[in-house]
Amino acid sequence: MASYSNLGGPFSCNVGDKPTAPTGVLSIAGEWSFELKVTDNGSPSQMGTSNLALTVKKASPSVASTLSSALITAGGNVTSSAALTGSYQAGGSITYKFFSGLTCTGTPTIVGSPVSVTSSIVPNSASQKFITAGSYSWTASYGGDNNNNPAVGNCQTLTVVSPPTLSVPGSRTVSAGSTIRFIVNATGAGGCNGVTLASSSTLPAGATFDSTQCFAASASSVFLWTPTDSQAPGDYTVTFTATDTNHAATTSQVTIHVSPVSKAAALPIVSYSIIGVVGFIAVISVAFLLRRFQNPKRRSNS
């Protein structure tokens, strides 16, 4: 069923005039027709009609997506934004998707649900987590609406890297005054010369963590500490971080329990006095017995 609307109101003109009718906005793509009616002021009046056909095509927008990051560590997340340009009051929806490989070809994985476009404004994608290291690609596609053609966006690349491995000992116990020493090892992208080790927490007073060295294909550093009496008893947690050339990082912690030195309790002074008296009596008794055995004749004569 056709609909009609007037472009402005009637107007007057004289022979030779070239009046311009008010313009209107064609807000829907499709087939349109214009009709011009001219009526003279004669008696009787006469009327002439002229028709013009017009096709209004759909807009052909472009989609440009942007990833929140082009490189992440396995287990990390990315999101994407998208911009729709060259559209006309676009509605419809945009679908975000990613592919295995760098060319946006093959079977895609849909990210979340399609997002609704309102007046050409596009919401961001849902957050997508990548568990497996590898190369991926990402794009956004627009489904079109009554006034806009569908469009496929640019192809963004994403690299997912494995984090460095970090080897630390389990919880340790040390007595105040004794020395604790252990080695922290890490491997990752760039080899042992590309991995750096650091203590990302404040070391206990007196502790050291040597600069990273290359040892047996691993980056290694030595933790060394001799806790003092004033630091016992107590639990100290030290955090270590390994970072590789991809800027991927791994963090681990070691808890060290410092116990006080055990000391034997001193004997009371009275104990030493009793021991001294008993010892003195024992010495006198032995001397007396020896004297009696050494002089038996003397006893018999008397």
* 3-state helix/strand/coil string of 190-231: CCCCCCEEEECCCCCCCCEECCCEEECCEEEEEEEECCCHHH
Question: Residue 31 has which token pair?
Answer: 């087939």
Q: Which of 33-37, 54-58, 72-76 has the lowest mean pLDDT?
A: 33-37
Above 90 in pLDDT, residue 90? yes
Average pLDDT value for the chain: 84
Question: Residue 97 has which token pair?
Answer: 């998707």
Tell me what pLDDT residue 300 has: 47
Tell me what pLDDT residue 192 has: 82
Above 80 in pLDDT, residue 263? no
- Cα–Cα dist 208/225, whole Å: 7
- Cα–Cα dist 43/252, whole Å: 101
pTM: predicted TM-score of the whole model, two decimal places: 0.64
Per the CB < 8 A criterion, the answer to whether 139 and 104 are in contact is yes
Above 60 in pLDDT, residue 286? no
Q: Which of 58, 159, 65 is nearest to 115 (CA)?
A: 65
Above 70 in pLDDT, residue 15? no
- Cα–Cα dist 33/52, whole Å: 5
Residue of higher predicted confidence among 136 and 24: 136
Tens-digit pLDDT profile for residues 112-143: 999 999 999 999 999 999 999 999 999 999 99
Tens-digit pLDDT profile for residues 198-230: 987 789 999 999 878 887 678 999 999 999 999
User: 148 falls in which pLDDT band (50, 70, 90)?
Assistant: very high
Above 90 in pLDDT, residue 299? no
Above 80 in pLDDT, residue 278? no
The full set of domains in the chain, from first to last, is 62-161 (2.60.40.10), 165-259 (2.60.40.10)
Tell me what pLDDT residue 28 has: 77
- Cα–Cα dist 85/62, whole Å: 5
